[in-house]
Amino acid sequence: MFANANGLQADSLVRIAGVNVGKVTSVSTEPGCKSAATTAAACNAAEVTMEIDNGGLPIHKDATFAIRPRIFLEGNFFVDINPGTPEAPVAPDGHTFPIQQGVEPVQLDQVLTGLQA
């Protein structure tokens, strides 16, 4: 789960230490965000499903995920995985990592807005 996955698409690369280890299979909004009763603030989550090759395993439950640009200002993104510590349990197939373990990209307009102050 990511707070925001803008720019990330299906078939985007998944990398560990710069090595391609898989791909993104789907990007969708959190299921509760499709309800008219939810507020915009509650709908800032995206579920990113990834397929990891055997060479990228194991991934531990304390792994972290960051959406990074492939080339600055190009607009293509990839998921960079830190697979976690060996002391942590291995995440089973289909495991959903909490939103706190995902870092979304900073967009250029966010940087410019911060500089206006």
Longest CA span, the chain: 47
**98 DSSP 8-state letter:** P
24-32 mean pLDDT: 81
Confidence of residue 37 (pLDDT cuts 50, 70, 90): very low
Residue 59 has pLDDT above 90, yes or no: yes
Q: Which residue has the higher pLDDT, 88 or 46?
A: 88
What pLDDT is recorded for position 93? 94
Pairing of strands 19-29, 64-69: unpaired
Phi, psi of 18 (to 5 degrees): 80, 0
Question: Which of the two residues, 58 and 4, has the higher pLDDT score?
Answer: 58
Which helix (DSSP H) or strand (DSSP E) does residue 88 occupy? none
